[in-house]
A and B are shown apart, each in its own frame.
Chain A
Amino acid sequence: MTEPSFYLDQLIPALNRGLVVSLLLIAPAGSCGLILGIIVGSVRAVGGPVARRLADWYAGIFRGTPLVVQLFVLYFGLPNVGLYLEPYTAAVVGFILCSGAYHSEYIRGGLLSIKRGQRLAAQALGFSSFKTMLWIMIPQAARRALPGCGNEIIYLIKYSSLAYIITCIELTGEGKIIATKYFRFTEVFLVVGLYYLLLVTLATIGLGKLEKKLYIPGFGGARR
């Protein structure tokens, strides 16, 4: 009798609760991370020397250190300088900063692959540098960067599980609590794994649809 009740009464409700927290981590981290990545990537590709160096340093540090360490610094380290972050806030900030650093690399690559003539043509029409970036360069770079950025979002879905280490109890955290309480690690983490697999599958389908929607002849990638 305990068998069905463990799954239906204990595990699934807890994991669903965790899933909501995970989604609340992933959604803002994914979108803000992408926006940050576009800004940083643009600065790294075409910014002035000082801004470019700062952006390079940011990307270097956040791509060069483990995410767990970054989360520890945000959550346990910042209080030393008087800045206290909620576990949820610390996790989201950490994910945005980490994700933005990786996105910036894909966007930078996309921007560097655009022919010089595109920018010349825009400038010759009277576009300012900012408008050239906004309306000509970034729409093209984003399409070229999309497979890479999509990959980063899929990574994010999975590394969001690190939030529980700084006591933001999301999907993995809820699973760990149940597993420890009932000492049923195998079943619990198999189910947790299925939850992530489902999330990643949905994200993959969504990204595929997006790639199709943004398809433009001559840009390679998805076919109509």
Chain B
Amino acid sequence: MSGQNGPVLRVENICKELGGKQILNRVSFSVNKGELLVLVGPSGGGKSTLLQCINFLIPPDSGRVWLDGSEIKIGKKQDLYSFRRQVGMIFQDFNLFDHLNALENVSIALRKVKKWKRDDARERAMAELARVGLADKANLYPAELSGGQKQRVSIARALAMDPKVMLLDEPTSALDPELIGEVLSVIRDLAKGGMTMVMATHQIAFSRSLADGVLFMEDGEIVEQGPIGELLSADAQTRTRAFSAKLNELYEENGS
């Protein structure tokens, strides 16, 4: 099961009902080491809920999750915490800790969760900030950073934990258009460096150039999945293609 080329992350039959509405309906997929999987589809389709169900920030009603071939049992708290340490999460609205500066945002989990010494944690945090190009902002607080910088700090924070897989929940959706590029370029470097990622996004062009596979989600179900080139090819009669055409129209209207 957990062979060299087996999936890093596998989820099976995730179901979630909220307020009498089926948000996720038996969602299954897997992602292999070094792959970037993009999750696309209309808002309200369940993308965020799915990502948050994978690391049990929202407990799914049913379904199973495997990391590196071993199934996660959420009954044992320590197992759950250890699993979450290995899964990096990037949120749409960054969720940096407001009372900590950039450096402390990155180092606090190393110190308090992984119990590293202060100096070691600091050194690692500086290295991660440098990796996202923010070494000179280490002492600034979230309120003093731009949206793009905040999202890069949050990526550094996740990377410092040495995650086996990263879940990115529309990492650029809350950003002004001119700040999207700096975040996407960090994600591009990660993808090229072999980081395994599942990313909900509306950035079709970016996905087309980098993603290995697409999951198209609508009404809580994965309605299409496959290599991105196939689903977006000019003669493909797919929901993915229709949706991205609609997005393109929208951007052109707004862009002109």
Give the complex CA separation of A126 and B52 in angstroms: 14
Nearest-neighbor residue (CB-CB) of A134 within chain B: B112
B157 within 8 A of A: yes
A131 to B113, CA, bound (A): 8
The answer to whether A218 and B142 touch across the interface, beta carbons within 8 angstroms, is yes
Given A125-B113, A127-B112: A136 and B97 within 8 A (CB)? yes
- Does residue A216 face the partner (Cβ distance < 8 Å to B)? yes
- Chain A: which residue is nearest B167 at the CB level? A124
Of the stretches A37-45, A114-122, A163-171, the one at the interface is A114-122
Contacts of B43 in A (CB 8 A): none
Hey, what's the 0/1 contact readout for B219-246 against A, CB within 8 Å counting as 1?
0000000000000000000000000000
* The one of B55, B88, B89, B112 that contacts A135, using a Cβ cutoff of 8 Å: B112
Contact B81 A126 (CB under 8 A): yes
Find out whether the CB atom of A140 lies under 8 angstroms from the CB atom of B57. no
Query: Which chain B positions have C-beta within 8 A of A64?
Result: none
- Asked if B21 lies at the interface with its beta carbon under 8 angstroms from chain A, I say no
Write out the residue numbers on chain A whose beta carbons fall within 8 Å of the beta carbon of B98.
118, 140, 216, 218-219
Closest-CB distance, A117 to chain B (whole angstroms): 4
Are the C-beta atoms of B77 and A124 separated by less than 8 Å? Answer: no
Q: Whose C-beta in chain B lies nearest to the C-beta of A140? A: B99
Q: Determine if B144 and A127 form an interchain contact, defined as CB atoms under 8 angstroms apart.
A: no
B89 touches A124 (CB 8 A): yes
Is A201 among interface residues, defined by CB-CB distance under 8 A?
Answer: no
Known contacts A135-B112, A216-B141, A218-B142, A123 near B57 by CB under 8 Å: yes
Contact yes or no, A218 B141, CB < 8 A: yes
Given contacts A125-B157, A218-B142, are A120 and B95 in contact (CB under 8 A)?
A: yes
Contact B113 A127 (CB under 8 A): yes
In the assembled complex, the Cα of A127 lies from the Cα of B143 at a distance in Å of 23
> Could you say which residues of chain A place their CB within 8 Å of the CB of B52?
120
The answer to whether A126 and B82 touch across the interface, beta carbons within 8 angstroms, is: yes
User: Shortest CB–CB separation between residue B78 and chain A, in angstroms?
Assistant: 9
CA distance A127 to B94 in the complex (A): 17
Residue among A128, A217, A219 making CB contact with B81, cutoff 8 Å: A128
Q: Is A176 an interface residue (CB 8 A)?
A: no
**Is A139 part of the contact surface with B, judged by Cβ < 8 Å?**
yes
Residue B109 CB within 8 A of the other chain: yes
Instruction: Give Cα distance in the complex from A216 to B96, angstroms.
Output: 14
B87 within 8 A of A: yes
Residue contact A124 to B57, C-beta cutoff 8 Å? yes
Shortest Cβ gap from A221 to chain B (Å): 12
Q: How far is the CA of A120 from the CA of B158 in the complex (A)?
A: 13
A142 vs chain B, min Cβ distance (A): 9
A121 partner, pick from B87, B89, B143, beta carbons under 8 A: B89
* Chain B min CB distance to A206 (Å): 21
Known: A124-B84, A125-B85, A217-B144. A117 touches B112 (CB 8 A): no
**How long is the Cα–Cα vector from A15 to B59 in the complex, in angstroms?**
62
Q: Which residue of chain A has its CB nearest to the CB of B161?
A: A125
In the complex, A60 Cα to B221 Cα: how many Å? Answer: 48
Q: In the complex, what distance in Å separates the CA atom of A122 from the CA atom of B100?
A: 13
Decide if A126 touches B113 in the complex (CB within 8 Å).
Answer: yes
Does B216 interact with chain A (Cβ within 8 Å)? no
Interface string of A194-219 (1 = CB under 8 A from B): 00000000000000000000001111
Known: A121-B89, A125-B84. A131 touches B95 (CB 8 A): no
Q: Which residues of A, 100-154, contact B by the 8 Å Cβ criterion?
A: 115, 117-118, 120-128, 131, 135-136, 139-140, 143
* Residues of the A chain whose Cβ atoms lie less than 8 Å from the Cβ of B113: 125-127, 131
Closest Cβ–Cβ distance, residue A145 to chain B (whole Å): 13
Q: Is B93 an interface residue (CB 8 A)?
A: yes
Q: Are B109 and A127 in contact (CB under 8 A)?
A: yes
Query: Could you show 19 A-B contacts with beta carbons less than 8 Å apart?
Result: A117-B93, A117-B94, A118-B95, A120-B89, A120-B95, A121-B89, A123-B84, A124-B55, A125-B85, A125-B89, A126-B81, A126-B85, A126-B113, A126-B161, A135-B108, A136-B97, A217-B143, A218-B98, A218-B143
Q: A125-B84, A125-B113, A131-B113 are in contact. List 15 more A-B contacts (CB 8 A).
A: A117-B95, A120-B52, A120-B91, A120-B95, A121-B91, A121-B95, A122-B109, A126-B82, A127-B113, A128-B77, A128-B81, A216-B99, A216-B143, A218-B142, A219-B143
